[in-house]
Structure 1
Amino acid sequence: MTVAKENLKKLYLDWINKKLAYKDLDAGTIEITTPFLDRHNDRLQIYAVPLENGDFKLTDDGYIITDLQMSGLDLNSSAKRKQLFRTIINGYGVSSNSDSDELFVIADSSNFPTKKHMLLQAMMTVNDMFMTTKSTVTSLFTEDVGAFLESNNIRFSENIILGGKSGYNHHYHYLVPHFKNIPERVIHTMNVPSKGTLSNIIFSWSDTREARIKQNYNTELYVFINDQEKEVDKNILNAFHIEEIKPVLWSKRESVIDILSA
């Protein structure tokens, strides 16, 4: 099993390296095309813009927020949306520019991989959290999961950052603490099931889990999946099971109350 896992990890990292592409643009700017997909199944792109002090700005050039606005979703339409947006990007250490709608981080050569990773996570999370159909969703899915935990007297912390073996930090929505021989349970949400979001969660958890094991933590990951609008692809569920991640369909959320409240 260990050999199989190492082979899967190598295949995944090889896939990332193969799909990454760098292109020189004007004024020293570098366009970075990543293997991660947006909701249109297009590969996400970010830009490294050199600064006068030798650092550089990594930016999405306003793509994520502009795309949501073109779909009719205004992040400033309610205080709740603005607050959740701020919570998401702050959790990843990402800033936003209201004039250009860009998401960005400032990086140098020593922290470029971590900063790039956190920006991409923030881009996918903002897109996933807010790309909801207007007619059926009255509250955002992550808030629904938090309300579910609270209504069932499940003790939790929210907006958790856990370090990975690689040195990357990873953001998770909730954490239920361990008790005696019961492991700590990390909870993440998947509002719009997609291969891009799946890959991001698997990579983040694989990195996080190795670090938690090294620190002698017994930790499990539960992913709450929004299946209110359509059936979730079985391949997504199977991929989670292979990685020893516990998927929880929202329609079957009652099945984990006893486990999470223990």
Structure 2
Amino acid sequence: MNLVEQLSDSYVNWLKQKITLKELGDAVEITTPFMDRHNDYLQIYVQQKTPNKLTLSDAGYILTDLKLSGCDVFSSPKRRNILQTILNGYGVKVSTKEELFVETTIEAFPQKKHMLIQSMMTVNDMFMTSRENVQSIFLEEVDHFLLDNDIRYVENVNFTGKSGFPHTFHFAIPRSKQHPERILHALNNPTKHNSENLLFAWTETKENRRPDSKLFAVLNDSEKSIRPGIINALHEYDVQPILWSKRNQFINQLTG
């Protein structure tokens, strides 16, 4: 068994051991091993609408928590557009009660659950700013940087990993004669937990891409410096970190 298979099996076993389920009236509460910015475990709720139709939601937790922290994602058209772009990449919707949710069958439940959790973490990360200091949302800044430098890209690309779970990356730049395929993923809040999630997603999907495909992690260091341990971990897995403050140094690697 090679390293990729070992990591994949280890991750799936970890998920099975760490996920807990609890009946709550007409719903099932699922506590996942993934944490939010408060270091609380993310929870989702499953309701059975028909014998083979389920609705999965966060019960409004993510958007309500952001609003209580001073970031109302519905306060401007720009923020609403960014939220919709993020959710579209995961196949997730917003209800009239501001819940993030997906509808699925029992057969597709594992994949849909995984996509909902990914969307919750991404929305939480991208909008983790207060109204006092936010100038623009980081994902939009990365998008503008690529456009301003005439860098061709595709948004919200989905790759299926070895475990069968789909993983979404923010941008993909096609290969050319000069450069291999380049995948970019933006981390607005580069924590150990967020970087580990990204490394797992890349480890899972890399062997399904061309051997020379490269992942770039775009790290927002505008407000605080990035911990050396995060940079070292990315390098260890052959992922190229791009500090936002030094983004212009990588233009040549992203163009062409």
Please indicate the TM-score interval, normalised by the length of the shorter structure.
Answer: over 0.9
SS in structure 1 at match of 2:80 = helix
Superposition deviation, residue 256 in structure 1:
1.0
Paired AA for residue 136 in structure 1? N
Contact 1:22 1:33 in 2 (8 A): yes
Aligned with 2:143 (options 126, 142, 146): 146
Question: 1:14 corresponds to which residue?
Answer: 13
Contact 1:38 1:196 in 2 (8 A): no
Separation in 2 of the partners of 1:25 and 1:195?
32
Question: 1:123 corresponds to which residue?
Answer: 120
Aligned-pair identity in percent equals: 45
Superposition deviation, residue 8 in structure 1:
4.1
How is 1:33-44 mapped onto 2 (pairs within 5 angstroms)?
33-44=31-42
Contact 1:121 1:200 in 2 (8 A): no
Superposition deviation, residue 208 in structure 1:
1.9
Contact 2:70 2:130 in 1 (8 A): no
Paired AA for residue 235 in structure 2? H
Superposition deviation, residue 65 in structure 1:
0.7
Separation in 1 of the partners of 2:8 and 2:229?
18
What are the superposed Cα offsets for residues 63-101 of structure 1, whole Å, 9 maximum, x if unpaired?
Answer: 001101111211121111111111111110011112x21
Greater CA drift, 232-241 or 185-194: 232-241
CA gap 1:240/1:253 in 2 versus in 1, 3 angstroms: same
**1:238 has 2:219 as partner:** no
Provide the aligned length of Structure 1 versus Structure 2.
Answer: 256
Aligned with 2:194 (options 193, 197, 215): 197
Long gaps (5+) in structure 1: none
Question: 1:62 corresponds to which residue?
Answer: 60
Scaled by the length of structure 1, what TM-score is found?
0.90
What CA RMSD, in Å, does the superposition of the two structures yield over aligned residues? Answer: 1.9
Separation in 2 of the partners of 1:218 and 1:102?
40
Question: 1:110 corresponds to which residue?
Answer: 107
Paired AA for residue 24 in structure 2? L
SS in structure 1 at match of 2:101 = strand
Paired AA for residue 88 in structure 1? I
Scaled by the length of structure 2, what TM-score is found?
0.92
Question: 2:83 corresponds to which residue?
Answer: 85
Question: 1:47 corresponds to which residue?
Answer: 45
Question: 1:26 corresponds to which residue?
Answer: 25
**1:179 has 2:183 as partner:** no
What are the superposed Cα offsets for residues 104-147 of structure 1, whole Å, 9 maximum, x if unpaired?
Answer: 11122211110001000110111111111333331111111121
